[in-house]
């Protein structure tokens, strides 16, 4: 089973447990700051959300955005996202593969991928970003949010490949164990990844999370 296939399978099985991670008491101050940042970043924007999962961040975006086009590859998590009290006039949910986004006629003025970057193999990151940027209009703001590795709070890293990709062993409520790709980039690595592809790059590290925001360079 390949990395992408095993990841899809893991998140499908984890659907009912998906948001448990947001309940950790020590992370509440950071999450409050993230929600505030996302609300400000996408005020009035037409937002494309990648890997929306159960819609936790979709709800946050929808409070201030003009519209949200939220996508995920798993119907299991999308079913949960659709069941929430989202404004159907503003929010649409679609099943989409992040590595094979369709040619949409619409161009978006904002983009969010929360906790997706860490699951992208380092070798695929540049190609993924180039494809992702094609759906945005000039001047759009793209935001990635993901985890900082914190000893004692984060799941321990189980192994590291020669590529630098790191993995964790995750256990679900049913007792099943899954090896999951989970990278923890430094600020320098984040900036290097978008070098030449973005302008106005901003990176902020909180205690438990990091934020990368920028404007994609068209035709880069």
What is the side-by-side strand order in the sheet with 91-95?
91-95, 67-72, 46-50, 108-114, 136-147, 209-216, 198-205
- Average pLDDT over the chain, rounded to whole? 90
Q: Which residues of 196-209 are buried (b: 16+ CB within 10 A; e: fewer)?
A: ebbeeeebeebebb
Q: For the segment 195-214, what is each residue's pLDDT rounded down to a tens digit?
A: 999 999 999 999 999 999 99
Domains of the chain (ranges; CATH) run 3-157+186-215 (3.40.50.150)
Q: For the segment 52-64, what is each residue's pLDDT rounded down to a tens digit?
A: 999 999 999 999 9
Q: What is the mean pLDDT of residues 83-93?
A: 85
Is the pLDDT at 12 greater than 60? The verdict is: no
- How many Å apart are CA 76 and CA 98, to the nearest integer? 16
């Amino acid at each position: 089973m390949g990395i992408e296939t095993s990841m899809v399978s893991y998140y499908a099985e984890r659907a009912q447990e998906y948001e448990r991670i947001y309940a950790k008491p020590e992370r509440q101050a950071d999450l409050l700051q993230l929600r505030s940042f996302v609300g400000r970043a996408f005020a009035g924007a037409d937002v494309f959300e990648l890997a929306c999962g159960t819609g936790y961040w979709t709800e946050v975006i929808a409070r201030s955005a003009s519209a949200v086009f939220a996508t995920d590859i798993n119907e299991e998590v999308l079913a949960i996202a659709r069941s929430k009290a989202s404004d159907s006039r503003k929010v649409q949910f679609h099943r989409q593969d992040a590595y094979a986004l369709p040619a949409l006629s619409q161009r978006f003025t904002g983009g969010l991928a929360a906790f997706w970057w860490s699951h992208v193999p380092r070798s695929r990151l540049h190609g993924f970003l180039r494809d992702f940027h094609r759906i945005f209009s000039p001047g759009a703001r793209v935001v990635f949010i993901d985890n900082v590795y914190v000893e004692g709070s984060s799941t321990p890293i189980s192994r590291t490949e020669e590529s630098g990709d790191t993995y964790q062993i995750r256990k679900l409520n049913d007792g099943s164990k899954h090896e999951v790709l989970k990278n923890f980039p430094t600020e320098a690595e984040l900036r290097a990844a978008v070098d030449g592809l973005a302008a106005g790059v901003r990176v902020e590290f909180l205690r438990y999370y990091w934020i990368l925001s920028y404007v994609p360079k068209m035709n880069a």
